[in-house]
Amino acid sequence: MSTELDRITKKAKSEPKLRFTSLAHLLTPEFLTETWKQINRRGASGVDGETAKEFEQGLDTRVQELCQRLKQGAYKAPPVRRVEIPKGPGKEGTRPLGIPTVEDRLLQRSMARILEAIFEADFLECSYGFRPGRNPHGALRALRKIVVTKKVGYLFEADIRGYLDRTSYCPHIHEVAANRLG
């Protein structure tokens, strides 16, 4: 199934104006099983209390049933279990964390793989935020390389912590999504 995603990625890169309107056919039992192999199975249980190990014991059957519900339009995402976790070293308070059920996590990751295949084509090479295979350390390495090897007149630092919490609408992101998905 990865070859199907490769085809979608190539199509998205070669035809930037193309709109993808039908992607549900990609959610096959084989694709979900392939995604299962990539998923983190050490995560906590969702509201149903089912562990990844329990889900995996009946994987073939569960994946078939999930695909059937998706085709029938009968799938309904279960509630997400909310827990408060500490913010981290040197920070006060907690932040909410949502823990989906194992089945929903599998479906979310499957959809993310499909959407990544489409939207990766729209990102610039210098973009590092929330992209597969990229992280803040890579962004810092790229920045350091530019600062050390090129003539730099100014370097601006901005703290955007909480920006998306305070911003309700980002026109560019909505425009890109609207143009890519029908």
Q: What total number of domains does the chain contain?
A: 1
DSSP 8-class letter at 74:
-
What is the average pLDDT across 63-75?
95
What range defines the domain where residue 123 resides? Answer: 2-180
Model confidence at 158, pLDDT cuts 50, 70, 90, reads confident
Angle ∠(59,61,62) on CA atoms, nearest 5 = 60
User: What pLDDT, on a 0 to 100 scale, did the predictor assign at position 8?
Assistant: 92
Could you tell me the two tokens for 61?
């059957």
In order, the DSSP letters of 123-143 are S-TT--TT-TT--HHHHHHHH
Which residue(s) pair with 94 in the sheet? 86
What is the average pLDDT across 155-172?
66
Report the residue count for the chain. 182
Helix (H) or strand (E) holding 29: helix 29-38
Q: Which segments of 73-122 does DSSP mark as H helices, in order? A: 102-119
User: What pLDDT, on a 0 to 100 scale, did the predictor assign at position 74?
Assistant: 95
Question: Can you tell me the distance from the alpha carbon of 178 to that of 41, in angstroms, rounded to the nearest whole number?
Answer: 33
Model pTM?
0.77
What is the average pLDDT across 82-105?
91
Model confidence at 103, pLDDT cuts 50, 70, 90, reads very high
Tell me which residue has tokens 């790229």: 142
Question: Can you tell me the distance from the alpha carbon of 90 to that of 110, in angstroms, rounded to the nearest whole number?
Answer: 35
What is the average pLDDT across 55-76?
95
Helix (H) or strand (E) holding 60: helix 59-72
User: What pLDDT, on a 0 to 100 scale, did the predictor assign at position 127?
Assistant: 85
Question: Can you tell me the distance from the alpha carbon of 139 to that of 126, in angstroms, rounded to the nearest whole number?
Answer: 8
